[in-house]
Amino acid sequence: MPEAADAQPGQYRGRARVVQPAPAGSPSPALRALLIALTGATGLVDAVSYLGVGHVFVANVTGNVALLGFALSGATGLSIAASLTAVAGFLAGAGAGGRWAVASSRHRHLWLSTGSAAQTVLVGAAAAATVAGALRPDGPSRLVLLALLGTAMGIQNATARRLAIPDLTTTVLTQTLTGLAADSSFAGGSNPRPVRRIASVVALLAGALLGGVLILHAGLPTALAVTAVVFGLVTVGFAVVVPDTAR
C-alpha cells in the first residue's frame, strides 16, 4: 500500500505513526501565580549567594559569567572557583531538569511538583547544613553551598524553559524589560501582557529586597530557611492546582 502523503497528526503514514505534540494552551492564572512566586524566590536565592556567600550569582548566570571574567582579570573580592562551581552546579541542575521534563512532561503536575520538590530539598539541605555549622559562607565549604544552590536554580531554569510561557522565565528579566519598552504604545507596539511583565519585575525586586534584609539583619541560615519554605509552598501549589494533563 502506498504511503499517504497527507497523513494527519496521530494517523499512520506507512508503517510510521505521525505524532505531534498537543498545542500549548494559555497558562492558567494559578500557574502564572506560581511562576511569579518562583521569580520572587530567584531574587531571594541570588541575594543569598551574592550578599551571603561572596559575590556569586547562582540564578543570574549571565551575571555570574561576567563576574567570572572580572575574577579572571584579577579583580579583588571575586573568586574564580566560586563562580565556576556555581556555573557547574547550574549546568548539572539544568541537565537533570531537562531530562526529567522530557520523561514526564505529559503529566504536568507530577513534572512540575517533582522538579520544585528537588529544589526544595537542595535549598533545605543547604539551610540545614548552614544552621548546623557544616557549611559556612567562607572557606572551602562555601563551594558545596554554591553547588547546591546552583543545581536548584538549574532545575528551575530547565523547567521554565520547557514550559516556554512568554515573560515568565522566572530568572532573567532582560527580555521582559525590553518587551515593556519595545512593545509599548510609545514605541508603536500593542503593549502585550503588561501585567505579567510588571509582576515579574516586581516579584524579582521584592525577592531580592527580602533576601537582602534577611542576610543583613537575620543572617544566612535564616535567609536560606525562608527560601526553602518559599520553594516548598510552590511545590505544594504545583501538586495541588496544576492539572495532570499534557501541555
pLDDT tens-digit profile of 218-235?
999 999 999 999 999 999
pTM given for the model: 0.86
Domain presence at residue 229: yes
pLDDT at residue 84 tops 70: yes
Task: Kindly state whether residue 8 falls inside one of the protein's structural domains.
Answer: no
CA atoms within 13 Å, Cβ hemisphere of 16 = 5
Mean pLDDT of the 78-101 span = 96
Contact call for residues 107 and 238 (beta carbons, < 8 A): no
Cα–Cα separations (whole angstroms), residue 59 to 27, 36, 53, 96, 106: 23, 15, 14, 16, 26
State how far the Cα of 36 lies from the Cα of 62, in Å rounded to an integer.
20
- pLDDT of 24 reads 45
CA angle 218, 222, 224 (to 5 degrees): 130
The answer to whether residue 74 is domain-embedded is: yes
Q: Would 159 be classed as within a structural domain?
A: yes
Structural domain includes residue 207: yes
Inside any domain, residue 9: no
* Residue found under cell 572557606: 139
The answer to whether residue 13 is domain-embedded is no
Q: What is the pLDDT of residue 242?
A: 78
Sort 83 into a burial class: Cβ within 10 Å, 0-12 / 13-18 / 19+. Answer: buried
Q: What angle do CA 72, 173, 201 make, to 5 degrees?
A: 130
pLDDT, averaged across the chain: 88
State the DSSP H helix or E strand holding residue 13, giving kind and residue range, or none if neither.
Answer: strand 12-13
Return the C-alpha cell found at 40.
Answer: 520572587
Number of separate domains in the chain: 1
Question: In this predicted structure, what is the pLDDT of residue 247?
Answer: 42
* pLDDT score, position 54: 86
Domain that holds residue 174: 44-241
Distance in angstroms (rounded) separating the CA atoms of residues 210 and 207: 5
Q: How many CA atoms lie within 13 A of 136 on its CB side?
A: 4
Q: How many CB atoms lie within 10 A of CB 37?
A: 18
